[in-house]
């Protein structure tokens, strides 16, 4: 018997930054019950196939179309999981689903929709290094696909002026090779060359690579779309050790413990 719309639900889940161990039990349970998984192709491929599950992969930059597809299937009574990497509410499909919901069919607003939190690349990268985001911080998407570069630069300067530690998503791509170089120039002007900067590439995957350097030594080629970049505040500290180093930002604005 065909399920009614009352049986359908939509869950927006994060698959974590890479390793299967970082997928939350809540997300795994939703995937085990789903009839359909919707998302960007490489993320959908991370969900193992099984009988009764249909995987709907699509190209990048089709967020609204896939969100509408998921909402339509939910309205038909299907159990749908929309997947993103990391956390679905951090530069991912969470906002896209609600954009489509607000602009779409009025009946969609009565659907059973849940957002399931995940582990973002920002948090996974911070944990690898120690605690670089241990005090006040901000997170900025450096892609200018959906906002003008002038706004990105304004936010960079204001974040540096406020002395936040900073985490950056989407720093550099083939289509945007010059943007990260501009961002580095802004950060050097605002923070000085000695500020620590972290490049965490493909975190929690077999290709993981982490590098700690300074703004003065950083090169644009050190980042790509799989890299999470973090810049410390004026209080961020580096602790040398035999293998690599720890990076942390003290809990106190004075730099002293409480």
**Could you report the per-residue pLDDT of 31-84, keeping only the tens digit for each?**
999 999 999 999 999 999 999 999 999 988 899 999 999 999 999 999 999 999
Every domain of the chain and the residues it spans = 5-119, 122-248
Q: How confident is the model at residue 256 (pLDDT cuts 50, 70, 90)?
A: low
Instruction: Indicate if the pLDDT at residue 5 is higher than 60.
Output: no
129-149 mean pLDDT: 95
What's 5-119's CATH class?
A: alpha beta
Greatest Cα pair distance in the chain: 66
Q: What is the mean pLDDT of residues 17-26?
A: 95
Q: How big is the CA angle at 108 (ends 70 and 114), to the nearest 5 degrees?
A: 65
The phi, psi pair for 192, rounded to 5°, reads: 90, 160
The CATH number that domain 122-248 falls under is: 3.30.950.10
Secondary structure, 3-state, the chain: CCCCHHHCEEEEEECECCCHHHCCHHHHHHHHHCCEEEEEHHHHCCCCCCCCCEEEEECCCCHHHHHHHHHHHHHCCCEEEEEECECCCCCCHHHHHHHHHHHCCHHHHHCCEEEECCCCHHHHHHHHHEECCCCCEEEEECCCCCCCHHHHHHHHHHHHHCCCEEEEECCCCCCCCCHHHHHHHHHHHHHCCCCEEEEEECCCCCCCEEEEEECCCCCHHHCCCCEEEEECCCCCEEEECCCCEEEECCCCCCCCCC
Distance CA 229, CA 139 (A): 10
Q: Is the per-residue pLDDT at 28 higher than 90?
A: yes
CB 92 within 8 A of CB 84: yes
- Residue 1: pLDDT over 80: no
pLDDT score for 94? 97
What integer pLDDT is reported at residue 231 of this predicted model?
A: 98
Q: Do domains 5-119 and 122-248 have the same CATH topology?
A: no
Tell me the two tokens of residue 244: 């690599």
pLDDT at 255: 63
**253 confidence band (pLDDT: 50, 70, 90):** confident
Dist. CA 13–CA 26, nearest whole Å? 9
Structure confidence by residue, pLDDT tens digits, 201-230: 999 999 999 999 999 999 999 999 899 999
Mean pLDDT of 6-29: 94
Q: Please determine, for residue 4, whether its predicted confidence score (pLDDT) is greater than 50.
A: no
Q: Residue 88: which of 15, 152, 139, 144 has the closest Cα?
A: 15
pLDDT tens-digit profile of 92-130?
999 999 999 999 999 999 999 999 999 999 999 999 999
CA distances, 189 to each of 35, 160, 199 (Å): 52, 10, 20
- The whole-angstrom separation of Cα 36 and Cα 34 is 5
Confidence of residue 178 (pLDDT cuts 50, 70, 90): confident
pLDDT band for 2, please (50, 70, 90 cuts).
Answer: very low
Q: What pLDDT does 214 receive?
A: 98
Banded model confidence at residue 257, pLDDT cuts 50, 70, 90: low
Q: With 0-12 CB in 10 A as exposed, 13-18 as middle and 19+ as buried, what is 172?
A: buried
φ and ψ at residue 130, rounded to 5 degrees: 135, -95
| Mean pLDDT (the chain, rounded) | 94
Angstrom distance (rounded) from CA 29 to CA 23: 10
Which pLDDT does position 3 carry in this prediction?
41
């Amino acid at each position: 018997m065909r399920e009614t719309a009352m049986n359908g639900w939509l869950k927006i889940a994060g698959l974590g930054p890479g390793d299967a161990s970082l997928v939350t039990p809540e997300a795994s349970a939703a995937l085990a019950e789903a009839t359909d998984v919707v998302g960007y192709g490489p993320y959908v491929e991370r969900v193992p196939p099984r009988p009764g599950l249909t995987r709907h992969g699509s190209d990048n930059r089709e967020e609204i179309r896939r969100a509408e597809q998921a909402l339509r299937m939910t309205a038909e009574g299907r159990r749908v999981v929309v997947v993103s990497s990391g956390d679905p509410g951090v530069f991912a499909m969470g906002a896209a689903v609600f954009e489509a919901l607000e602009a779409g069919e009025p009946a969609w607003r009565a659907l059973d929709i849940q957002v399931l939190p995940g582990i973002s690349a920002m948090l996974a990268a911070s944990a690898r290094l120690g605690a670089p985001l241990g005090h006040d911080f901000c997170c900025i998407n450096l892609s200018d696909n959906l906002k003008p570069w002038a706004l990105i630069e304004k936010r960079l300067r204001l974040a540096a002026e406020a002395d936040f530690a900073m985490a950056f998503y989407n720093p550099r791509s083939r289509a945007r090779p010059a943007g990260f170089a501009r961002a580095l120039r802004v950060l050097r002007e605002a923070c000085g060359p000695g500020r620590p900067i972290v490049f965490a590439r493909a975190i929690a995957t077999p290709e993981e690579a982490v590098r700690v350097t300074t703004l003065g030594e950083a090169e644009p080629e050190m980042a790509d779309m799989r890299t999470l970049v973090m810049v410390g505040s004026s209080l961020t500290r580096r602790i040398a050790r035999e293998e690599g180093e720890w990076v942390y930002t003290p809990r106190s604005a004075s730099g002293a413990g409480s």
